[in-house]
């Protein structure tokens, strides 16, 4: 089943995993230590994040390290940017309105 990045970040545990791995690449066991859940549950989350290409695996000896794919995170930022522009425009309009109200009270 093909998943997209928005399905991946919909889950709070997966968002937490992304935040942890953003700092440094980690093994599944190291990641699992941050959660009060089973190692199997963390493995499932890692698989989903990998399927969405948000994480990549890097083999070092017998250990597998997961690292964040920053380029894929830019896809989320690009989608959010369209809303950011709308919010900034509305905040600007609100600033102008508040300034007008303030000047009229003087």
Q: Are residues 4 and 38 in the same domain?
A: yes
Q: Is the pLDDT of residue 104 over 90?
A: no
DSSP 3: -
The two tokens of residue 101 are: 């109200």
Give pTM, 2 decimals. 0.75
Q: Are residues 106 and 79 in the same domain?
A: yes
Question: How confident is the model over 26-46, as a mean pLDDT?
Answer: 95
Q: Are residues 62 and 74 in the same domain?
A: no
**Residue 72 pLDDT:** 86
The tally of domains found in the chain comes to 2
Q: Are residues 2 and 39 in the same domain?
A: yes
Q: Where are the beta strands (DSSP E) in 1-106?
A: 55-60, 63-68
**CB under 8 Å to 20, separation ≥6 — which residues?**
26, 31, 34
DSSP H/E element including 94:
helix 70-105
Q: Are residues 74 and 63 in the same domain?
A: no
**Residue 1 pLDDT:** 57
Domain that holds residue 82: 70-106
**Residue 29 pLDDT:** 94
Specify the 3-state DSSP secondary structure of 101.
helix
Q: Is the pLDDT of residue 11 over 90?
A: yes
Determine if residue 24 is left, alpha or beta; phi over 0 gives left, psi from -120 to 50 gives alpha, anything else beta: beta
DSSP H/E element including 21:
helix 12-23
Please report, for the domain that includes residue 18, its CATH number. Answer: 1.10.10.10
**Residue 2 pLDDT:** 64
């Amino acid at each position: 089943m093909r998943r997209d990045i928005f399905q991946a970040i919909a889950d709070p545990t997966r968002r937490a995993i992304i935040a942890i791995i953003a700092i440094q690449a980690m093994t599944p066991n190291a990641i699992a230590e941050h959660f009060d859940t089973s190692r199997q549950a963390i493995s499932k989350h890692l698989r989903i994040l990998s399927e969405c290409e948000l994480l990549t695996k890097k083999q070092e000896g017998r250990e597998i390290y997961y690292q964040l794919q920053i380029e894929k995170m830019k896809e989320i930022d690009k989608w959010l940017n369209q809303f950011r522009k709308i919010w900034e425009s509305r905040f600007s309009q609100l600033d102008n309105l508040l300034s007008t109200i303030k000047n009229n009270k003087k």
